[in-house]
Amino acid sequence: MTAATALSGRGGGRAPARDTPAAARRRYFPRHGSYGHRTLSYDLRLDYDPGEGRLDGHARIQAVAAEHTRRVELDLAGLTVHAAEVDGRPVAVHRRDGKVFLTTGEPLAPAQPFVADIRYGGSPGPLRTPFGPIGWDRTGDGHDGTLVASQPVGAPSWFPCNDRPDDKAAYTFEVRVPRGHHVLANGTLHGREEHDDGTVGWTYHHPGPMATYLAAVYTGRFAHETQTIEASPGGSPVPLRNAYPAHLAAAARHDLARQPEILRAFTGLFGPYPFESYGAVVVDAELGAPVENQTLSVFGSNHMDGNRSWETLVAHEIAHQWYGNSVGLTDWQHIWLNEGFATYAEWLWSEHIGEDDADTLAREAWRELSGRRQNLRIADPGRRHLFDDRIYVRGACTLHALRLAVGDESFFRLLRSWHDTHRGGSADTRTFFTHAEHTAGRRLQDLLHPWLFDKRLPEFPAST
């Protein structure tokens, strides 16, 4: 789902990106995230009482400061901080406007990892945003389940974090719920521990690196299915797990059944699947749109009808694992890179299964777009247009225009090398522009600039 050419690297020892007033003015959510530190890992221990809708949390955050500082700034909304420590020493806590400020006694040194422990809790709920309520929510008739759908800024509804799309980290989740409830989270289940008080702790780990908005936990009563698939000949097998409420099992089982084939098709087109597992969770609630949580996409009950009516979205969310999750965004203004690629992948899937090919679908989409107002620069559409469907469709048409101009061989090499070069990192539109020119071996200014930076809709170029 999201122009300097700043790139974050693949974790490790890189310094945090520095902020500038000009960059801050361009950001769509300037009050989210901090440039004062870079996160290495989140270790989230969450006790959740579904009856009361109450969460008791302990977040252990390992991070690196950008410069000498005594202040750590985190995002957390609607929940109370009970106590906090940095490197084992109690620190002063101040709250303001969805922020938690920790003040240490001794300054933190740049490039020196520190550990912040935050004990917090309350009754989490979705945050009010320009895109509607986003974040943690309760599900089911009896409200005994929970969901997380955080894109773009819902993560602070359930854990203290550095809520920037380019601050990627490893995650461990240890979630305790009453026996009989299930827990799903990103990554792989590492264990279940029964406690004497009738609760069960479920531990998941995902090495990531993962942006905050893609982190997700689901609790409730689910039917599960797991299998292991060969995504590519000779490649690492990918464990696939799906979960859905029992009353949706038949429809969901049918509608998700071609995920292995989609993963294989996209592995063939985009390169090796970038993570250690994949899966889909269907929640007992209607969702406006599915969300491509890393390794665990979420769908609403309204996306499963037993007829594969929404299979394009199943393919779309899988494509995001490469484009959006593995290659993320330096900031939300570049969202066409996520949505254009995932929408184009829908067309490639259609072609793969012998339905309309990408060229037919692109020309249909272009005709439909040409009848609509052209008031968006998709490379920086403005915050209120972040999820405007014209970004998705024109973004995909932009890729098709590129394919027509450079030819299939160069285009598919570009899709793979774009992911391969930036996997685990974050990128932006200018970087893509440069990458496309480099791969094609020629200037693409006259082609790409109008598609990305002008409002007027360009014509498709002649095919090479």
Candidates 18-26, 82-90, 335-343, 353-361; binding stretch for Zn ion (CB under 5 A): 335-343
Smallest distance, Å, CB 155 to Zn ion?
A: 17
**CA-closest candidate to residue 369, choices 393, 400, 398, 395:** 393
Min dist CB 316 to Zn ion, Å, is 5
Bridge-based pairing state of the strands 127-129 and 132-139: antiparallel
Q: Output the smallest distance, CB 366 to Zn ion, in A.
A: 20
Torsion angle, alpha carbons of 439, 440, 445, 451, to 10: -90
Beta carbon of residue 332, minimum distance to Zn ion (angstroms, whole number): 13
265 three-class SS: helix
Contacts of 279 (CB under 8 A, 6+ apart): 184, 240, 241, 242, 243, 295, 296, 297
From the list 237-245, 299-307, 334-342, 350-358, the region that binds Zn ion by CB under 5 A is: 334-342
Q: Could you tell me which stretch among 22-30, 227-235, 338-346, 423-431 binds Zn ion (CB under 5 A)?
A: 338-346
Using the contact rule CB under 5 A, the part of the chain among 174-182, 260-268, 336-344, 400-408 near Zn ion is 336-344
User: Which residues lie closer than 8 Å to 408 by C-beta, 6 or more apart?
Assistant: none
Which residues in the 123-142 window bind Zn ion by CB under 5 A? none
Considering the complex, what minimum distance in angstroms separates the CB of residue 47 from Zn ion? 32
Of 47 and 292, which has the nearer Cβ to Zn ion?
Answer: 292
The footprint of Zn ion on residues 387-446 (CB under 5 A) is: none
When the beta carbons of 147 and 342 are compared against Zn ion, the nearer one is: 342
- Which segment (256-264, 296-304, 341-349, 447-455) binds Zn ion by CB under 5 A? 341-349
Least Å from the CB of residue 362 to Zn ion: 17
Nearer to Zn ion, 1 or 329 (CB): 1
User: Min. distance of Cβ 320 from Zn ion in angstroms?
Assistant: 6
Q: Measured from the CB of residue 429, what is the shortest distance to Zn ion in angstroms?
A: 17
Least separation in angstroms between CB 344 and Zn ion = 11
Looking at the Cβ atoms of 1 and 79, the one nearer to Zn ion is 1
3-state secondary structure of 395: helix
Pick the binder of Zn ion from 17, 314, 319, 342 (CB under 5 A).
Answer: 342
| 163 versus 339: smaller Cβ distance to Zn ion | 339
Find the part of the chain contacting Zn ion (CB under 5 A) among 69-77, 132-140, 333-341, 346-354: 333-341
Residues 6+ apart with CB under 8 A from 391: 335, 336, 339, 340, 376, 378, 381, 385
Give the range of 154-162, 269-277, 342-350, 405-413 binding Zn ion by CB under 5 A. 342-350
The gap between the terminal CA atoms of the chain, to the nearest Å, is 31
Q: How far apart are CA 207 and CA 228, in angstroms?
A: 19
Q: Which residue, 244 or 387, is less far from Zn ion as judged by CB?
A: 387
Q: Could you tell me the smallest distance in angstroms from the CB atom of residue 328 to Zn ion?
A: 13
β-pairing, 54-65 vs 37-49, is antiparallel
Residue among 42 and 344 whose Cβ is closer to Zn ion: 344
Q: In degrees, to the nearest 5, what angle opens at C-alpha 170 toward C-alphas 205 and 220? A: 40
List the alpha helices (DSSP H) in 193-302: 249-255, 259-270
Stretch that binds Zn ion, among 139-147, 339-347, 348-356, 428-436 (CB under 5 A): 339-347
> Which residue number, 146 or 297, has a Cβ lying nearer to Zn ion?
297
C-beta closer to Zn ion: residue 284 or 339: 339
211 binds Zn ion (CB under 5 A): no
CA distance 87 to 90: 9
Nearer of residues 301 and 343 to Zn ion, judged by Cβ:
343
- Specify the amino acid at residue 224: H
Residue 305, judged by CB atoms within 10 A of its CB (0-12, 13-18, 19+), counts as middle
For Zn ion, which is the closer residue by CB, 144 or 346? 346
**# binding residues, Zn ion (CB under 5 A):** 3
Q: Which residue has the tokens 């969770």?
A: 281
CA distance 172 to 460: 46
Q: How far apart are CA 369 and CA 366, in angstroms?
A: 5
CB of 318 to Zn ion, least distance (A): 11
DSSP 179-194: TT-EEEESSEEEEEEE
Task: Give SS3 for 53.
Answer: coil
Tokens, residue 375: 């008031």
Q: x/- string (CB under 5 A) for Zn ion, residues 1-30? A: x-----------------------------
Assess whether the previous peptide bond of 152 is cis (omega < 30° from 0): yes
For 148, the 3-state DSSP assignment is strand
> Where do contacts with Zn ion occur on this chain (CB under 5 A)?
1, 339, 342
